[in-house]
Amino acid sequence: MTITRLILKNLKKCRKLFILFCLAFLLTCIILPLEGWIVSRLVGCFEIEDKMQALQNCLIIMQTIIAYYLLRALVNGFFASYIKEAFSHTFISYLIADIFASVHAHSVRYFDDEMSGRISTAVNGFARGLVSAFTNTCYMLVRPLCTLIVSFAIIAAFSPALSLSLLALNIPYFFAVYKVNRRFFTLSNDRTKAENKASGILVDSIANASLVKYSGSFFTEQLYFYKHLKQAYRLHAAQGKYQTFSRFAFHAADTVFLSVSILLILFFAKRDNIALDNLFYVYTTLSGMVLSIMLINNFSQFSASLFGSLKANFDIINLPPDISEKENAKTLHASKASITFQNVSFSYVKDRPVFQNLNLKIEPGQKIGLVGHSGSGKSTLVNLLLRSYDVTAGKILINHTDIRDLKLRSLHQNVAVVPQDTSLLNRSITENLRIANPKATTEQIRNAARLACIHDTIMKLLQGYDSVVGERGILLSGGERQRIAIARAILQNAPVLILDEATSALDSQSESLIEKALQNLIKDKTVIAVAHRLSTLHHMNRIIVLDNGKIAEDGSPAELLNRPDGIFRKLCQMQNNGYLTYGENQ
């Protein structure tokens, strides 16, 4: 998507307001430059010899001037201001909502690669930049250009040669402006990139404030931040220096333009016998023309800087999503689901494959415990199923449909996840639970919370279900957050359930409380449970042991425990407690 396409797409959504705004704006563009011409007609009255006639003309012109000012107040005040506000706010809201959607359309890889601070600075900077670009294009470019065109047209009516000469004088002037401003664009683009980087470091560092504090690395962190901040300000200063120099150059150019224009006016006034009122108009218009040129000049400086930073921000937002949805993507309607990994190969980094030709078939309702050493590929397998990343080769099927043929939303609605580290939105508990099922009734929400053994804890909070949980759910303990995630999965009621160390943050009391709830939750579902603590896997009827991206063992827990040199058996033995608990539940 280009910036132009993004703007056009959102303009379409509020086209009526936009057309109204354009009409109102064009009206002001035509009306404003007429002031000088109407007022200068008064001067013509002094050339009329008949005093009565002169007075009559003067009165008519005065009435016209009053009518003109009234019309201008109406057009400028009502249309240009009121409609501009209505249009720009509507347009910007559509635009930001669209950017919000395109940021969220990115895959997990994008959020892994980009710092969230950099993304949010880019979204805000881009949206604010576009509002500013829009208003300034109207008032610093289009309107002064209209003023110039109308002025040249009026002058051309009584002296075409003078109009053409003044126009010709503008050409080298604007060429110089263009040359200077190209450098501005580059400077501004670099400055914005540096600012975004510094801002990303700031947010990243604050988000990890406790790590910085407890590791005693504050001074290193401060130096690191300062180094990037300094780079941003160095580029800022370079841009400022260039701006000061170019302003001085343009002021000098203004003086030359004005002086040569006056000489041209005097020359053509004599040669073309220009009447006094017209001559008066040309003089008054001259300062208006210089002002318009200055505005256009300022705009081109400003826009070179603005468009430089707009582009830098847009480049962050607009990276093509590496996970995309097919145009004819399907919706999955399933109450039971089978999962098949067919010759799946995948690598995060080229030539370092995590999986090569992995084959795995999980029947509907089967409960898989996924175990293996750290780095063996458990989370990667789950991430591939969620299409956080796409397979490099092969395919993953849910009920015989390639997950790449499904709508992403549909895939995610059908695969519920209880992650190891549950992060919550900084909103109320009800809102956090409703994310899984926006249509859930209060009663359904409470039932899910009861099943997840979190209802009593919620009721003890000051505002119960309306309590806000703080950033990433920081006001709740790890175990409480995890139980909220379980309640969320209960509400989602998807045929596939992924438990990623789902009970890792629960103490033994909560764990035994939640066991029944989990048992209810997983009853008819196809479950993949990733676990290090093998004691949490006793609901599973099949264990897959991953070793270096390969399926090393596959069988029922009892079968694997009986393999004399089996990895699963060894892992159970190593986790003494896990082994005992596991055994108890067999």
Ligand X SMILES: Nc1ncnc2c1ncn2[C@@H]1O[C@H](COP(=O)(O)OP(=O)(O)OP(=O)(O)O)[C@@H](O)[C@H]1O
Q: In the complex, which residues of this chain contact ligand X (CB under 6 A)? A: 112, 348-349, 354, 372, 374-380
CB of 421 to Mg ion, least distance (A): 11
Options 5-13, 60-68, 375-383, 502-510: segment touching Mg ion (CB under 5 A): 375-383
Which residue, 354 or 362, has its beta carbon nearer to ligand X? 354
CB of 99 to ligand X, least distance (A): 25
Closest approach, Cβ 380 to Mg ion, in A, equals 8
- Judged by CB under 5 A, does residue 379 bind Mg ion? yes
Residue 10, binding choice from ligand X, Mg ion, none, Cβ under 5 to 8 Å by partner class: none
Give the three-state DSSP class for 121: helix
Q: Which of 359/520 has CB closer to ligand X?
A: 359
Q: Which residue matches tokens 């264990």?
A: 543
By the 10 Å C-beta count (0-12 exposed, 13-18 middle, 19+ buried), 12 is classed as: exposed
From the list 218-226, 376-384, 462-470, 574-582, the region that binds Mg ion by CB under 5 A is 376-384
User: From CA 325, how far away is CA 6, in angstroms rounded?
Assistant: 19
Q: How far is the CB of 517 from ligand X (least distance, A)?
A: 25
Closest CB 370 distance from ligand X, rounded Å: 8
Question: What residues contact 167, with CB distance under 8 A and at least 6 apart?
Answer: 152
State in angstroms the smallest separation of the CB of 384 from Mg ion.
13
Identify the sign of the CA torsion 125, 130, 133, 136: negative
List the structure tokens of 103. Answer: 């940021």
Give 365 or 478: the residue with its C-beta nearer to Mg ion.
478
Residue 242 to residues 183, 238, 239, 299, 417, Cα–Cα distance (Å): 9, 6, 5, 16, 54
User: CB under 5 to 8 A by kind: which of Mg ion, ligand X, none does 470 bind?
Assistant: none
Q: Tell me which of Mg ion, ligand X, none is bound by residue 377, counting a contact when its beta carbon lies within the kind-specific cut-off of 5 to 8 angstroms.
A: ligand X
The residue sitting closest to Mg ion, measured at its beta carbon, is 379
Between 273 and 374, name the residue whose CB sits nearer to Mg ion: 374
First and final CA of the chain: distance in angstroms?
Answer: 56
Name the residue nearer to ligand X (CB basis): 188 or 379: 379
What's the angle, vertex CA 238, arms to CA 236 and CA 244, rounded to 5?
100
Name, in order, each residue with C-beta under 8 angstroms of 499's C-beta and a sequence gap of 6 or more: 418, 518, 527, 528, 529, 530, 531
Q: How far is the CB of 112 from ligand X (least distance, A)?
A: 5
DSSP 3-state of 353: strand
Q: In degrees to the nearest 10, what's the CA dihedral of 457, 487, 323, 5?
A: -70
Distances 243 to 250, 299, 367 between C-alpha atoms, Å? 10, 13, 67
Nearer to ligand X, 310 or 530 (CB): 530
Q: Is 454 or 567 the residue whose CB approaches Mg ion more closely?
A: 567
Nearer to ligand X, 93 or 575 (CB): 575
Q: Which of 176, 308, 144 is nearest to 248 (CA)?
A: 176
Q: How far is the CB of 473 from ligand X (least distance, A)?
A: 21
**Total chain residues near Mg ion (CB under 5 A):** 1
Binding site for Mg ion (CB under 5 A): 379
